[in-house]
Structure 1
Amino acid sequence: MSTMPENTFGEKDASSGVEPSIEHVTKISDNKDVIPEYHGFATDIEHVPKGYFTSKYFIGTYTAHIFTFLGGLAGFNLIAPILGQIDADIGPSDNIDWVALVFTLGLALGIGLMGRITDIFGRRWFMIIGNLLGVIGALVCSRAQSVNTLIAGETLIGFGSSAAYAFNFVISEIVPMKYRFWALGGLFVFTLPTNGFNTVIATAFIVHTKQGWRWCYYLTLILNVIATTLYFTFYHPPSFEMKHNNASKKRVLKEFDFVGAFGLLSGVTLLLIGLNWGGSLYAWSDAHVVGTMVAGGVILLALPVWTIFGKVKDPFIPKRLFNRGWTVSMLSSSVGATVYYSFSIIWPSMVATVFAQGDLIWAGWASCLVAMGIALGQVIGNALTLIVTKQKIQCIVAMTVGTIFLGAAATVGVDDKGKAMAFVFLSCLFIGWNEAVVATLVGVCIHDQRDIGVAAGLSGCIRSLLGSVSAAIYLAVLRSRLAHTIPAQVVPAVVAAGLPKSSVAAFIQALTLGSTAAFSKVPGINAAIIAAGSQAYRVANLDAYRTVFLSSLAFGAACIFLNILIPNVDELMSGDIAVTLHATKQEDDEALPGVGDNALHVRRQD
């Protein structure tokens, strides 16, 4: 290999007059089953201009993604815990669950498409447009007077949030390989407000502001405006012309795999809609659910066939991605993330039903434990990776300990809220540690760094899809158990306390509403009956949640098995850099501090 790749930061070294080679940054893994070959770097830490990592372009880009990540997380994390209050304000509507669904759907589709498309066409304008969609979506939602309007706005936020979840390639590719873990860990530190303390912030907005839940969207709007401005000003990665040596966009579009892109788009859409319809809007056996899920599944299963046998120059999902290292890391990240996606829904419900007993502020703090544990685990996992090597051992230990604590959460009683909080938090912390390592490995265990977008984007898409699958499984288990435990435990308790059998159905309905007005309408009710029934209701719910915790052990065990197959990539943690930023057209000759005749730089072609 004797020439620089298209996405380099360098044209020629003026000090030698020779076009620099990247032989010295080409890596061939000793284990070719894990990483068949390893190349696609632009330069290394020794050859970037002096002051590159302290330049306004580098720091501005990193700061831009902090705000992008904050805004993307806020668009969902602040809203998910308070959907009931929002529905009470501008509803009620049978479509309220679609607010969460369209975000998940938009994110899965956006990140799945964005990675591959930006690998080909350049990332700058896609990141700017993603943040702008967040701005528009937050503006629409903040002024919504109906749930349907909220759904429309949240759809835009979901698509736009693909920019936030692009951190795994946007940030990874601009830092040296050996600092990728730290660079991503730093992002998680800064995103703790909307990631770890989301429920507290959302609850505080409702309790302490006149606009209530709308402030969640005002905050999302502000964060996305800042992110858009920063990305527009400072983010200048390789452009389309740099990537393709001034090749015609018409030619590249002609060779683009539209069939593969449409297959991913339609398959994921149908499967996610079917998963969210099942057990809520329709029964799982209903033709709407079965037909939609089967159609989506068939399309997704047909994608590998198209990739292998379709006569496409470069398929949308390249075959070269699927080495053992990338495949196992991607699956471990996806399976491990099922805890976050599922328990971000299950745990707040458990807190409110079993432990809170009307204390909204405490419930808000306790509900944060899942996201807070995952986020802190990601920070710790990324920070320690430079000290504690052997990624395989880290992942096996972290996921094993996390799974043990998850199982321990099934042992708590209705008065053991402190123990339950500790077990859930510690479980999520160790699972977040595992997530930090494997999510970074997704961008490391690929044979060519020019595929980092599709590698991370496809992983994020599959992660969202498996998260929805696990959420559907957990909710189905919970509903099934509640249908048994509530009649079996609440009915005998209230009848023994003196409630007429004819009032039992009305009493259980009042329990689910939890208001004094609802209880007052139940014939034959008194304080002793309410106390007995409420305690039995807490126990019945805890028994159902206990089953959910136990069912989650299957996902934990699967993730531990996958981690046994994870490669150690210590030999790849070098100073190599996949992509370097460049200056604006006006500043091309004074792009970065310290740039002079000896600097490597490329003139913008756009």
Structure 2
Amino acid sequence: MEDKELPPTQVVSQDSNEPIIQNDTFAIKAEALGNDLPPNYYRSIGFIGTIFAFCMSNISQFISFILPANMLTFIGQDIGPSPNLTWVSLAYSLGLSVGFLLVGRLSDIFGRRWFFIGGNALSLIGGIVGAAAKDVETLIAADLLMGLGGSVQISFTVAVSELVPNKYRPSTIVAIFFSSFQIACFGPVISQSIVSTTTQTWRWAYYLNIICAGLAVVAFFFFYHPPTFSLLHMNRSFKQQLRRQDLVGFILFTGGLLLFIMGLSWGGLMYPWGSAHVIATIVVGFVALVLFVLYDAYVHPRIHGDPLLPTHLFRKPGYLAMVAAATGGSSVYYSMNVLAPQQVAYLFPSPSVIHAGWLTCSVGSGCLLGQIVAGWLSQYVHRSRWIMIGSCSMLVAFAAAMTSVEAGESSKWVGLMIMAMFSVGIIETCSLSLAPLSLPSEDIGAALGALGSIRSAGGSVSTAVLSTILNNKVKAIVAPAVMQEAQKLDLSAAQIEGIVAQLATGMFISVPGVDVETATKLSLVRSVSAADAWRYVWYAVIAFAGLALILSFTTIDYGQYLTDEVTRKMHGRTVGVVESEKRSDERSDESV
């Protein structure tokens, strides 16, 4: 073969003694590829056990985030009070956001098996620490561990995509997402039911995670045997490959993303937006992320290393557009998980927390329904560009319709929210299953990892923006309206002060001297004025959805990539690929 620089991906040889795919990072053996699968491979105990492991891992990830997030009030009452209570959910989000790209890229290079075993073990340890926590600070540490583990658990999209034919990627991803429907759809109600009907109350959120993560660890250990390091790198040892890793990029990325998301999460909650804590953290984090991209694009490749973020991905047709459109759509989902319960509390006050939980279930239920439909659409309707355009158009339309919701119109709110989240579910599935198809197979982890990190950062930005708008409009619209009504009812200055203090909860009856009739009138004014305040939130949602719609026109059709090709295959007796594994081990011994 002529001695020349190899392109990012090149088939070098069909001889099993030579790498079949080689570039500056990889030298992949033929045995790693999904060719020549044995009979009944997809019905083998190894493959079925691996799918079971992905399902348990996915359920664990949903439990780790959704259940504790809906129990924060009860957690604070039990082991608080603590000014750091909001850090319980924030710690999980930070671990999840940072881990996306790291897990995707590093598992591409070093193999995925021990990442998935280790990630679920981290979630298991986090569950044990959380279940035994005696204070909020210990619980924060537990959720940080579960967040880091969650970044591996949610990366099942990377692992399972390379094990099935390209044309079945959408339906397989959706099937695993569906395994967590009970938590994704009904998590808020389950949380409230657990707290009100069990003796261990909120600790059951962590007990359930221990069960699911534990089962995932066992199943991954016995059944999941993807290509090993020796199959991915014929020309380097583990130590040689380790020395090529992007340490500077790792520091810039993790530090920058942590600071950026922390700053956004602090703003308006722990510190004022104009405070030095918030501004400095956001600015320093953003600058670090910019330096990270520049370093990985222009510096690290020149010293013959493997960049954490392969920037050539963004030059491939359709990928950047899909990431950008997905970020715009997913920003709505992330922000509504935080803000929808607040809209329910303001517009549809109810003494029953279970009733409020059922209303909030529309967010997760709508999204999962959209994911299921998208799995079918993506697989059988090959005009994926028009699927993206149509779903983004739906999101804009139903976000606009949400501005018409008035106080007490809970049925209308549920219907519109389900449809808005339905469109988001379609965007989610299309981006996760289709975006990597036009890229080299060895970069699938980096591609989905970058997509996940960017989407997560976009979700943090949208949540911060929408929360700020809501807080400002509550102060400008709701508070004056309630105070004016209180003055009409001839309440004293002390009572008015107490009413303002209860504005967020709506528990006006708890103010001394306020009877049921007065509290009812104040609650009605609060709900009516809150509907006006929430219109501005949904105007901003329309802007995010509109951005996704504009970018969706620049995506491509992925139908041509939905082929029978299988990127990688597992090894071991449980899937009937023993001989390939044995030959690989023998060559590895000879090289030593």
The unaligned stretches of length 5 or more in structure 2 are 3-8, 23-27
Tell me if structure 2 keeps the 8 A contact 1:270–1:295.
yes
Secondary structure in structure 2 of the residue aligned to 1:218: helix
Residue 514 of structure 1: CA displacement? 4.4
- How many angstroms apart in 2 are the aligned matches of 1:118 and 1:134? 18
Q: Which amino acid aligns with 2:484?
A: P
Residue 603 of structure 1: CA displacement? 3.5
Comparing 300-309 with 203-212, which one deviates more in the overlay? 300-309
Superimposed CA distance per residue, residues 122-141 of structure 1 (whole angstroms, 9 cap, x where no aligned partner): 11111101001101101111
Residue number among 363, 367, 372 corresponding to 1:370 in the alignment = 363
Residue 228 of structure 1: CA displacement? 0.5
- How many angstroms apart in 1 are the aligned matches of 2:327 and 2:583? 38
Residue 498 of structure 1: CA displacement? 2.5
Q: Could you tell me which residue of structure 2 aligns to residue 346 of structure 1?
A: 339
- How many angstroms apart in 1 are the aligned matches of 2:148 and 2:349? 34
Q: CA RMSD in A?
A: 2.6
Is 2:240 aligned against 1:251?
yes
Q: Which amino acid aligns with 1:372?
A: S
Tell me if structure 2 keeps the 8 A contact 1:352–1:358.
no
Residue number among 61, 78, 92 corresponding to 2:67 in the alignment = 78
Q: Could you tell me which residue of structure 2 aligns to residue 291 of structure 1?
A: 280
Q: Percent identity?
A: 31
Secondary structure in structure 2 of the residue aligned to 1:49: coil
Is 2:450 aligned against 1:458?
yes
Residue 516 of structure 1: CA displacement? 7.3
- How many angstroms apart in 2 are the aligned matches of 1:419 and 1:435? 24
Superimposed CA distance per residue, residues 457-486 of structure 1 (whole angstroms, 9 cap, x where no aligned partner): 111111111111110001000000001112
Q: TM-score, normalised by structure 2?
A: 0.91
Q: Could you tell me which residue of structure 2 aligns to residue 429 of structure 1?
A: 422
Superimposed CA distance per residue, residues 81-105 of structure 1 (whole angstroms, 9 cap, x where no aligned partner): 2212211221111111111111110
Q: Could you tell me which residue of structure 2 aligns to residue 503 of structure 1?
A: 495
Tell me if structure 1 keeps the 8 A contact 2:19–2:234.
no
Residue 21 of structure 1: CA displacement? 10
Residue 20 of structure 1: CA displacement? 10
Tell me if structure 1 keeps the 8 A contact 2:499–2:508.
no
Is 2:125 aligned against 1:136?
yes
**Alpha-carbon spacing, 1:143–1:252, altered in 2? closer, same or farther (3 Å):** same
Residue 541 of structure 1: CA displacement? 2.1
Greater relative contact order (CA < 8 Å, ≥ 6 in sequence) = 1
**Alpha-carbon spacing, 1:129–1:495, altered in 2? closer, same or farther (3 Å):** same
- How many angstroms apart in 2 are the aligned matches of 1:515 and 1:488? 17
Q: Could you tell me which residue of structure 2 aligns to residue 473 of structure 1?
A: 465
Q: Could you tell me which residue of structure 2 aligns to residue 418 of structure 1?
A: 411
Secondary structure in structure 2 of the residue aligned to 1:559: helix
Is 2:180 aligned against 1:191?
yes
- How many angstroms apart in 2 are the aligned matches of 1:165 and 1:327? 21
Q: Could you tell me which residue of structure 1 aligns to residue 55 of structure 2?
A: 66
Residue 60 of structure 1: CA displacement? 1.1
Residue number among 562, 575, 591 corresponding to 1:592 in the alignment = 575
Secondary structure in structure 1 of the residue aligned to 2:380: coil
**Alpha-carbon spacing, 1:504–1:172, altered in 2? closer, same or farther (3 Å):** same
Residue number among 319, 323, 330 corresponding to 1:330 in the alignment = 323
Residue 600 of structure 1: CA displacement? 9.2
Superimposed CA distance per residue, residues 432-474 of structure 1 (whole angstroms, 9 cap, x where no aligned partner): 112111221222131x110111111111111111111110001
Secondary structure in structure 2 of the residue aligned to 1:78: helix
Tell me if structure 2 keeps the 8 A contact 1:405–1:427.
yes
Secondary structure in structure 2 of the residue aligned to 1:577: coil
- Which 4+ residue blocks in structure 1 deviate beyond 4 angstroms? 18-23, 39-46, 513-517, 599-602
Q: Which amino acid aligns with 1:106?
A: G
Q: Which amino acid aligns with 1:75?
A: S
- How many angstroms apart in 1 are the aligned matches of 2:85 and 2:575? 49
- How many angstroms apart in 2 are the aligned matches of 1:477 and 1:174? 44
Tell me if structure 1 keeps the 8 A contact 2:187–2:361.
yes
Q: Which amino acid aligns with 1:370?
A: V
Tell me if structure 2 keeps the 8 A contact 1:177–1:577.
yes
**Alpha-carbon spacing, 1:42–1:562, altered in 2? closer, same or farther (3 Å):** farther
Residue 402 of structure 1: CA displacement? 2.0
Residue 513 of structure 1: CA displacement? 4.3
Tell me if structure 2 keeps the 8 A contact 1:140–1:153.
yes
Q: Could you tell me which residue of structure 2 aligns to residue 36 of structure 1?
A: none
Q: Which amino acid aligns with 1:576?
A: E
Residue number among 400, 406, 430 corresponding to 2:393 in the alignment = 400
- How many angstroms apart in 1 are the aligned matches of 2:268 and 2:502? 22
Residue 525 of structure 1: CA displacement? 2.6
Q: Could you tell me which residue of structure 1 aligns to residue 529 of structure 2?
A: 540
- How many angstroms apart in 2 are the aligned matches of 1:554 and 1:497? 40
Residue 217 of structure 1: CA displacement? 1.0
- How many angstroms apart in 2 are the aligned matches of 1:161 and 1:167? 10
- How many angstroms apart in 2 are the aligned matches of 1:512 and 1:332? 34
Matches within 5 A, 1:40-51: 47-51=36-40
Tell me if structure 1 keeps the 8 A contact 2:50–2:223.
yes
Tell me if structure 1 keeps the 8 A contact 2:32–2:232.
no
Secondary structure in structure 1 of the residue aligned to 2:379: coil
**Alpha-carbon spacing, 1:600–1:576, altered in 2? closer, same or farther (3 Å):** farther
Secondary structure in structure 2 of the residue aligned to 1:174: coil
Q: Could you tell me which residue of structure 1 aligns to residue 6 of structure 2?
A: none
Matches within 5 A, 1:132-281: 132-245=121-234, 247-281=236-270
Residue 108 of structure 1: CA displacement? 0.8
Q: Which amino acid aligns with 1:319?
A: T
Q: Which amino acid aligns with 1:63?
A: F
